[in-house]
Structure 1
Amino acid sequence: CQANGSAINNNYSQKDIVEVPLRNGSNSSSQFVGVELVQSFKPLIIPCYALVVMVGIFGNYLLLYVICRTRKMHNVTNFFIGNLAFSDMLMCATCVPFTLAYAFNPHGWVFGRFMCYLIFLIQPVTVYVSVFTLTAIAVDRYYSTVHPLKKRISVSACAGVLAGIWLLSCALVAPAIAHTYHVEFQEEGFTICEEFWMGQEREHLTYAYSTLIMTYILPLSALSISYLCITVKLRNRVVPGH
C-alpha cells in the first residue's frame, strides 16, 4: 500500500497511531490484492495452526508442570529445558493466534497500537530465547560429557544465564521495535503493523546482518562444536574389559 509519504515522515519518531490517507484515486482492489490471495488458504491453514497452538500449549505446559512439581528434576539441565518450553508456550499462546488473525483479517491489524508493539516484541524474543537456550543446553552437555570432573554450573548461576538470555533477546529486538509502526488507512478501513526503516537502508542492513550472526551463525557454531566434541569423546571412550 502506498501512503502519503510526508504524513509518515512527520510522525517518524512518534509511537502514536498514525492515520494516513491513501493517495487520491488509488485502487483498493489492486493495492490489497495480496489479501485476497491469503484469504483463499484460510480453510486449510487455520485448522493446522489451531492444532499446532493446542498441542504446543498443552505439551509445554505439561512439561513445565512436571519440572516444577518434581523436586528431583530441579537441576540445571531441566531448568534450561523448562525455559525452552516456556518460550515455546508463550509463542504458541500469543504470537501464533495474533499473527494468523492479522494475516486473514481483511481489515489488517485490529488489536490496537499497544498489542501491535507487544506482539511484535514477543515474537522474535521467544525465537531468540529458544535459540540461546538450545545453545546453553549444548554447552552444558559438552562440559558434563567431555569434562565430567569439572564443577558443574550451579542453579543460581543457571538463573543468571537464563536472565541474561532474556535480556539479550530483548536487546536484539529493540531496534526492530523502534522502527515498528501502527498505521491506519482511513479510506480503506485497513490497518497495518509493520517494520519500516525509512531512509535508513544501511542501518537496516547492518542490523539484519548483526542479528543473523548473533542468532544463527554463532549459536549454530557453538552447537556444532559442542556436539562434535561430545561425539569424539564418546567414540574414543575406553570401555572396561576391552
Structure 2
Amino acid sequence: MDELSDSEMLDEIAPECLPWIDVRSDPTTHPLSVAACIVLYSFVFVLGLVGNLGVIVATLRYRSLQTVQNIFIVNLAVADVILCILSIPLTPVTHIFKQWYFGEVLCKIFGAMQAIGVFIGTFFLCAIAVDRYFRLVGAPGRPLRKQDALRITVSLWWWSTGCTIPYAYHMSLHSYDRICGQFCTEKWSSETIRIYYTIFVLVIQFIVPFTIMTICYHSIFAFLRRRAANRLTSIGQQANLLYVLAATAGGDSQQHKEQLSHLIDQKKRVIAQKRRVTIILVSMVAIFGVTSLPHNVVSMLLEHDQTILTVGDTDYQYIASMVTHFLAMLSCVANPLLYAFLNPEFRELIVSSLRWTPYVVVSRSWQPTQTSIL
C-alpha cells in the first residue's frame, strides 16, 4: 500500500477541519497548565485591578494628591487597568483554545487597546523617572508645572496611539486550511515592513525606556548617596564634638548622653533610609526589565521563525508566550506598589478611598517631598 501524504491523512481523519490542539501537541492544554493559569492570572487580575483603581479614585478624590508626579502615576494606573480588563482575561483564553471567539471588530479594538496600554505604561514610567531626576538632580529649583504635565500626558497618549496604528490596522481574523476556527492575528503585506515594525516596537517599548530609567535612577541614587554620606559625616563630627565637650567637662553628663543617643538614632535612620532608597531604585529598574524583556525576546523569536519553539511534534510557542505574558502582567501589581503605595499619604488615602470613608490628616510631619516617595 502506498504511503499517504500528510494532507491525505488529514482528509482520511477529518475531511472538514481539525482543532489546532488536535493537529499539534501543546502544553497549554494540559489540565495542570490550565489550573495554574486560572489561579495565577486571577491573582494578578484582582490585585492589579484593585490597586490601580484605588490609585485613580484616591487621586481624583483628594486634591492633595493631584500633583505633577501623581498625574503621571494616574496615567500609569489607567494603562494597567486597561491591561487588567483586556489583556489578562483574553490572552490566556486565546492561548489555550487557539481561537478567537469575539468577532473581527473586537479583534482590532482589543488588540489596539492592549497595545496602547503597553505603550502608555512604558512611556509614563519614563516620564516619572525623568520628572524625579529633574526635581532632585537636574533642576531642583524649577519643578514641572501641572500645565506642562498635562501637555506631556496628551503628547504621550497621542504618541502611543500613533505607535499602535500599524499594529491595529494589520490585525484581522484569518482562517487556515484544515484548521477549525478563526484566529485574530497580524497579516502584513510586506515581510520586511513587519520586521522593521517589530524592531521599532522593541526599541521604543523596551530599549529606550529601560535606558532612560537606568540613567535617571542611577543619577538619583548617586545624588542621594552623596547626600546621605554628607549627613553621616555631619553626624560623626557632632558626635566627636560631644565627646570632646564631655571630656572637657570631666565626665559624661546626662545631657551629653542624651545628645549622643539622639545622634546614634539619627545615624541609624540615615543608614536605613539609604538602604531603603537603594532597594526601591534598583527594584524600579529591575522589575521593568524582568517583566518586559522576556516577552519582547519571545515575540522577536517568533516573528523571526514561528517554528523556532517547536520540538518534534510539540509546539512550545503558546506556553512560552503565556509565561512571558504573565511576567509582563505582573507589572500591573508591582506598579501601584512601587509608585503609589510607598508614599505614606497616598497609601492611607487609597485605603480610605477603597473603603469610601473620610480621611482626616492628623499629622503633617510627613511632607510629600521627592525623597519620601523613594
- TM-score, structure 2 length as denominator? 0.53
> What secondary structure is seen at the aligned counterpart in 2 of 1:150?
coil
The one-letter amino acid of 1:159's match is L
List alignment gaps of at least 5 residues for structure 1.
Answer: 1-23
How many residues align? The count is 217
Q: What CA distance in whole angstroms lies between the structure 2 residues aligned with 1:149 and 1:127?
A: 30
Match of 1:214 among 204, 217, 232: 204
Match of 1:54 among 35, 46, 71: 46
> What secondary structure is seen at the aligned counterpart in 2 of 1:191?
strand
Q: 1:178 to 1:63 in 2, by over 3 A?
A: same
The one-letter amino acid of 2:107's match is C
- Residue 362 of structure 2 is matched in structure 1 by none
- Residue 43 of structure 1 is matched in structure 2 by 35
Contact 1:143 1:150 in 2 (8 A): no
List alignment gaps of at least 5 residues for structure 2.
Answer: 1-13, 238-374
Match of 2:62 among 52, 65, 70: 70
Larger CA deviation: 125-134 vs 142-151: 142-151
- Residue 116 of structure 1 is matched in structure 2 by 107
- Residue 93 of structure 2 is matched in structure 1 by 101
Q: What CA distance in whole angstroms lies between the structure 2 residues aligned with 1:165 and 1:178?
A: 20
Query: 1 or 2, which has the higher helix percentage?
Result: 2
> What secondary structure is seen at the aligned counterpart in 2 of 1:234?
helix
Q: 1:35 to 1:173 in 2, by over 3 A?
A: farther
Contact 1:128 1:169 in 2 (8 A): yes
Contact 1:181 1:195 in 2 (8 A): yes
Matches within 5 A, 1:60-209: 60-105=52-97, 108-184=99-175, 188-198=179-189, 200-209=190-199
Tell which structure's C-alpha radius of gyration is larger. 2
Percent identity for Structure 1 against Structure 2: 25
Report the CA distance between 1:148 and its aligned residue: 4.8
Larger CA deviation: 52-61 vs 180-189: 180-189
Residue 250 of structure 2 is aligned to residue 236 of structure 1: no
Report the CA distance between 1:68 and its aligned residue: 1.3
> What secondary structure is seen at the aligned counterpart in 2 of 1:197?
coil
- Residue 226 of structure 1 is matched in structure 2 by 216
Q: What CA distance in whole angstroms lies between the structure 1 residues aligned with 2:142 and 2:202?
A: 33
Contact 1:35 1:104 in 2 (8 A): no
Q: What CA distance in whole angstroms lies between the structure 2 residues aligned with 1:29 and 1:84?
A: 39
Report the CA distance between 1:137 and its aligned residue: 0.4
Larger CA deviation: 159-168 vs 133-142: 159-168
Report the CA distance between 1:183 and its aligned residue: 2.1
The one-letter amino acid of 2:82's match is L
Q: 1:93 to 1:209 in 2, by over 3 A?
A: same
Q: What CA distance in whole angstroms lies between the structure 2 residues aligned with 1:34 and 1:223?
A: 42
Report the CA distance between 1:29 and its aligned residue: 6.0
